[in-house]
């Protein structure tokens, strides 16, 4: 255990050498199996034994005048209570007692020591409360270890009288409540290190503490700290240098959340659930040198969030969801030496991410899906010329294209880093994504992108927002973007609502970029498709219908369309039309254009428009003929470029059905129909009577003796002893039975 090794070293080096020329000797205390002792460091004594061991050890140490033991570390069994005057007359600087069973300590257990005890450890026992009364006899105590016990609550007086305490170890308990004044500097004016790892503390129990102003090291790892990390999460911590917050459930870091930690040098936030680092999240942390954000859910890191970390040396971003390495991550960190990016989703490394002036000494990129195309030429050149260790250079491994899969980037000739179809014919295919329409209504930004048809099929991946700051562009927003071109009205037009517009400032200038994942030219390979707008000032468009555009953009993924058409004649000349359309949120924004054509020459006979919310209509005045009925959707909103384009597309997307003559006969029963049905029934009845009469005649016995020679099938041959008349009669009976079957 590290705490024990540290205490052994501290007490051993602080011991006062024994007088005289002879070197220090380990006291010989051995009485197996009651007690056995040994020394593994100067001025230290480690003993094991049973419940009587402590009494024997204390007596022997008091008798050894020439031996000076600075630290006594005892592991005893079957020992549940420390008795009073346990080590009376013994001079020690440090004492550690552990049995796994100690649950009670006598109030006078540490009285009578001949030297002031400076370090006390009672780890891995069964204490449920801090032994405050027993600790009052140790006013000079500097270090206290109560880890691995069953402590639940820390009261205002838990450490009363211990004004010299500088180190408190309370990890691995079940502490869920701390009195606000428990660690107040009035009671613990020397406290510098507090360790509360692996307890049950929540945000409330921490934020209500009166003060941590004098602390330099605080460990709150593996607790129940949930939610965003905000300015009011912690009390004042003016002197804190090392803050451990790993293995909690922080979801994000808000703007200015840590500005009270201006002396902080080490910040550990690994194994949380952080997905967003807000801009200026690390403001005032100009002294921070080590930042650990590994094992979180971070998708992108903006330059504005890291811009204040001017002295950061070590940045750990392993095991996140980063998709690209951009200049925003590295350029603001002028003193960065170590960058760990293993186990992310990085496929793109911007050409300006790493420059000749970059002073990185360590860069690890293992387990990232690098796309080794022409966009990686600058990074590959930097990597080859860098002073990184060979293992770091070899961590950059290609995933795509297939021809370079699993290849080390440093082993690839720069001429072989090609784009698209350059691999075959040196003529790359570029897909254009242009911003065609930009609308800002004061509250939301709507973007319409034109995407070349050869990009389809594609899906959306992310949208980025950059702010123009003169010579630099800073990444402000990075958000997931969901779409599927197969479900769109027209895959050439992608409509996007920009999220988090409240973070943008009117009249400032921004660039918008979308990232798509597609398989151009209907290949099986997936590729990233990037499109960016020009720099656009955030100015409200006045001549727009924001409600209309908002509804259209929100419902883009639904792609309203005609599913089916039911057409039936309900009476002579009346044709009922019922159109089934895919539902949309506001069907009043569209109309159905219904057209009836003559089937032979396709002349338009009738045309009518109805609202999508009530897609039924009946045409009158039609003749007994065959017709073709076609339906298409028309948006009935105020004119705009976007609406005109939608309507133009829908004209080419008609749904049609044909009604033939056989289907349009009058469905009502006429007089002629009644006469025909009556005649048919009479005729059927007559035929049945005749059949019944013939059957009766055939079944009557034969009286005449005129016989004809009959040839019988073997299945119906009568027995040989029957006369001819019986044979003939049986033949008919058998045939009748067969007929019934």
Query: Does the pLDDT at position 253 exceed 60?
Result: yes
437 and 406 within one domain: no
Distances (CA, A) of 59 to 52, 54, 55: 11, 9, 6
* pLDDT at site 713: 36
Report pLDDT for 16: 44
Out of 99-108, 167-176, 202-211, 632-641, least confident range: 632-641
DSSP conformational letter for 65: S
- 319 contact partners, CB below 8 Å, separation of at least 6: 294, 295, 296, 342, 343, 344
472: domain CATH number is: 2.60.40.10
More confident residue, 13 or 625: 625
Mean pLDDT score, 307-332: 92
pLDDT number for residue 205: 87
Q: Is residue 61 domain-shared with residue 129, that is, in the same domain?
A: yes
Segment 79-86 shows an average pLDDT of 89
Backbone angles phi, psi at 546, to 5 degrees: -60, -35
Query: Among the three residues 167, 200, 233, which one is the final residue of a domain in this structure?
Result: 200
In whole angstroms, what is the distance from residue 471 CA to residue 636 CA?
Answer: 46
Per-residue confidence (pLDDT) for residue 229, from 0 to 100 = 94
> Taking 50 as the threshold, does the pLDDT of residue 19 lie above it?
no
Q: Say how many C-beta atoms besides its own lie within 10 A of residue 124's C-beta.
A: 17
What CA–CA distance (Å, rounded) separates 282 from 66?
Answer: 57
Other C-beta atoms closer than 10 Å to the C-beta of 144 total 20
Write down the number of H helices and E strands in the chain.
13, 42
Tell which of 556, 582, 609 closes a domain. Answer: 556
Residue 407 is given by DSSP the state -
Pick from 272-276, 322-326, 564-568: least confident: 564-568
Instruction: Give the per-residue pLDDT at 323.
Output: 92
Q: Is the pTM of this model over 0.75?
A: no
In this predicted structure, what is the pLDDT of residue 65? 57
Do both 347 and 440 map to the same domain? no
CA pair distance 325, 329, nearest whole angstrom: 7
Find the mean pLDDT for residues 137-164. 94
- 3-state SS of 163-186? CCCCEEECCCCCCCEECCCCCCCC
Q: What is the largest CA-CA distance in the chain?
A: 158
Per-residue pLDDT, 578: 87
**pLDDT surpasses 80 at 68:** no
Q: Measured between alpha carbons, how far is 255 from 228 in angstroms, rounded to an integer? A: 10
Of the ranges 176-190, 548-562, 655-669, the best mean pLDDT one: 176-190
Say whether both 549 and 569 belong to one domain: no
Residues 334 and 472 in one domain: no
461 and 417 assigned to the same domain: no
Q: For residue 325, what is the domain's CATH number? A: 3.80.10.10
Instruction: Report the alpha-carbon distance of residue 476 to residue 445 in Å, rounded.
Output: 15
CA 257-261-264 angle, 5° bins: 125
Q: Would you say residue 105 has pLDDT above 60?
A: yes
Same domain? For 410 and 483 the reply is no
408 and 366 assigned to the same domain: yes
Q: Which domain holds residue 390?
A: 313-423
CA pair distance 724, 707, nearest whole angstrom: 8
> Pseudo-torsion of CA 191, 194, 199, 204, nearest 10°?
70
With a cut of 60, say whether residue 289 has pLDDT above it: yes
Instruction: Specify if 646 maps to a domain.
Output: yes
| 251 in a structural domain | no
CA gap 683, 691 in Å, rounded:
13
- Name the pLDDT band for 730 (thresholds 50, 70, 90): very low
Spatial distance between the Cα atoms of 120 and 3, rounded to a whole number of angstroms: 12
Distance CA 619, CA 329 (A): 67
Residue 202, pLDDT above cutoff 90: yes
- Asked if residue 302 belongs to a domain, the reply is no
139 shares its domain with 47 = yes
Distance CA 722, CA 733 (A): 15
In a domain? residue 360: yes
For strands 604-611 and 562-571, give the pairing: unpaired
Please indicate, yes or no, whether residues 375 and 458 belong to a single structural domain of this protein. Answer: no
Q: Is residue 272 part of a domain?
A: no
Do 79 and 196 fall within a single domain?
A: yes
Reply yes or no on whether the pLDDT at 705 is more than 70: no
Is pLDDT of 128 > 50? Answer: yes
Q: Is residue 400 packed enough to be buried (19+ CB in 10 Å), middle (13-18) or exposed (0-12)? A: middle
Instruction: Compute the chain's Rg from CA coordinates.
Output: 45
Question: Which own/partner pairs from 235-238 qualify as long-range (CB within 8 Å, at least 24 positions apart)?
Answer: 235/206, 235/207, 235/209, 235/210, 235/211, 236/211, 236/212, 236/260, 237/212, 237/213, 237/261, 238/213, 238/262, 238/263
At 138, list the tokens. Answer: 């140790």
Residue 206 lies inside a defined structural domain of this protein:
no
Q: Kindly state whether residue 278 falls inside one of the protein's structural domains.
A: no
Q: Is residue 684 part of a domain?
A: no
pLDDT band with cut points at 50, 70 and 90 for residue 428:
very low
Kindly state the percentage of the chain with pLDDT values over 90: 34
- Is residue 659 domain-shared with residue 600, that is, in the same domain? yes
- Reported for 147-151, long-range contacts at CB under 8 A and 24+ positions apart, including other chains, are 147/3, 147/123, 147/171, 147/172, 147/173, 147/195, 148/123, 148/124, 148/172, 148/173, 149/122, 149/123, 149/124, 149/125, 149/173, 150/126, 150/174, 151/127, 151/175
Q: Is the pLDDT of residue 55 over 90?
A: no
Instruction: Specify whether the CB–CB gap between 57 and 29 falls below 8 A.
Output: yes
Residues 6+ apart with CB under 8 A from 384: 393, 410
Most confident residue range from 303-317, 509-523, 534-548: 303-317
Q: What mean pLDDT do residues 534-545 have?
A: 71
Rounded Cα distance, 414 and 296, in Å? 34
Q: Is the pLDDT of residue 339 over 70?
A: yes
Domains: count for the chain: 5
Contact of 68 with 94, CB cutoff 8 Å: no
Q: Contact, 409 vs 396, CB < 8 A? A: yes
For CA atoms 321, 324, 328, 329, the dihedral sign is: positive
Domain end position, chosen among 556, 586, 611: 556
Window from 234-238, 580-584, 594-598 with minimum mean pLDDT? 580-584
């Amino acid at each position: 255990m590290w705490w024990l090794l540290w205490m052994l070293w501290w007490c051993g080096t602080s011991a006062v050498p024994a007088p005289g020329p002879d070197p220090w000797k380990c006291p010989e205390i051995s009485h197996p199996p009651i007690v056995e002792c040994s020394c593994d460091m100067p001025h230290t004594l480690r003993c094991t034994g049973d419940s009587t061991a402590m009494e024997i050890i204390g007596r022997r140490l008091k008798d050894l005048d020439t031996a000076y033991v600075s630290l006594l570390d005892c592991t005893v069994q079957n020992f549940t209570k420390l008795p009073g005057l346990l080590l009376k007359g013994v001079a020690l600087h440090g004492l550690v007692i552990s049995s796994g069973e100690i649950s009670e300590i006598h109030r006078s257990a540490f009285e009578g020591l001949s030297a002031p005890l400076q370090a006390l450890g009672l780890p891995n026992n069964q204490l449920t409360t801090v032994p405050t009364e027993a600790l009052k006899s140790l006013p000079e105590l500097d270090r206290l270890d109560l880890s691995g016990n069953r402590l639940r609550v820390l009261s205002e007086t838990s450490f009363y009288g211990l004004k010299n305490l500088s180190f408190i170890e309370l990890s691995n308990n079940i502490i869920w409540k701390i009195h606000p004044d428990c660690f107040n500097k009035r009671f613990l004016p020397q406290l510098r290190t507090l360790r509360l790892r692996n307890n049950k503390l929540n945000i409330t129990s921490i934020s209500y503490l009166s003060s941590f102003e004098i602390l330099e090291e605080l460990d709150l790892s593996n607790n129940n700290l949930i939610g965003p990390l905000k300015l009011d999460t912690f009390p004042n911590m003016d002197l804190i240098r090392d803050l451990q917050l790993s293995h909690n459930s922080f979801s994000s870091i808000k703007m200015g959340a840590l500005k009270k930690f201006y002396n902080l040098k080490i910040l550990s936030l690994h194994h949380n659930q952080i997905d967003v680092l807000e801009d200026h999240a690390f403001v005032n942390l100009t002294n921070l040198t080590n930042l650990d954000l590994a094992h979180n859910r971070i998708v992108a890191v903006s330059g504005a969030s890291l811009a204040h970390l001017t002295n950061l040396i070590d940045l750990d971003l392993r095991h996140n969801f980063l998709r690209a390495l951009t200049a925003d991550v590295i350029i603001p960190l002028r003193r960065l030496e170590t960058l760990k990016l293993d186990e992310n989703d990085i496929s793109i490394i911007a050409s300006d991410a790493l420059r000749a002036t970059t002073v990185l000494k360590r860069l690890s990129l293992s387990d990232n899906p690098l796309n080794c195309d022409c966009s990686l030429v600058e990074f590959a050149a930097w990597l080859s010329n860098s002073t990184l260790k060979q293992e770091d250079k070899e961590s950059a491994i290609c995933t795509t294209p297939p021809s370079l899969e699993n290849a080390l980037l440093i082993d690839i000739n720069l001429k072989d880093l090609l784009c698209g179809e350059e691999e075959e014919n040196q003529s790359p295919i570029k897909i254009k994504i242009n911003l065609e329409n930009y609308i800002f209504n004061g509250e939301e930004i709507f973007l319409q992108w034109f995407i070349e048809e050869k990009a389809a099929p594609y899906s959306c991946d992310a949208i980025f927002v950059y702010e123009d700051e003169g010579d630099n562009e800073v990444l402000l927003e990075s958000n997931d973007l969901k779409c599927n071109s197969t479900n769109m009205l027209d895959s050439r037009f992608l409509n996007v609502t920009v999220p988090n517009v409240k973070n943008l400032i009117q009249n400032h200038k921004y660039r918008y970029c979308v990232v798509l994942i597609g398989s151009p030219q209907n290949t099986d390979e997936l590729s990233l498709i990037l499109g960016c707008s020009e720099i656009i000032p955030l100015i409200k468009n006045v001549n727009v219908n924001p409600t209309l555009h908002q509804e259209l953009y929100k419902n883009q993924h639904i792609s309203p369309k005609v599913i089916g058409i039911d057409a039936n004649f309900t009476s002579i000349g009346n044709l009922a039309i019922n159109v089934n359309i895919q539902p949309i949120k506001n069907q009043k924004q569209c109309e159905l254009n219904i057209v009836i054509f003559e089937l032979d020459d396709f002349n338009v006979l009738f045309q009518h428009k109805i609202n999508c919310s009530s897609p039924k209509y009946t045409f009158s005045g039609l003749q007994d003929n065959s017709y073709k009925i076609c339906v298409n959707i028309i948006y009935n909103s105020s004119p705009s470029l976007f609406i005109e384009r939608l309507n133009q597309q829908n004209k080419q997307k008609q749904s049609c059905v044909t009604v033939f003559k056989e289907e349009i006969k009058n469905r009502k029963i006429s007089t002629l129909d009644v006469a025909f049905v009556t005649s048919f029934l009479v005729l059927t009845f007559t035929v049945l009577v005749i059949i019944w009469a013939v059957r009766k005649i055939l079944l009557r016995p034969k009286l005449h003796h005129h016989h004809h020679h009959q040839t019988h099938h073997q299945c119906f041959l009568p027995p040989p002893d029957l006369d001819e008349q019986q044979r003939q009669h049986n033949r008919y009976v058998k045939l009748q039975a067969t007929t019934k079957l």
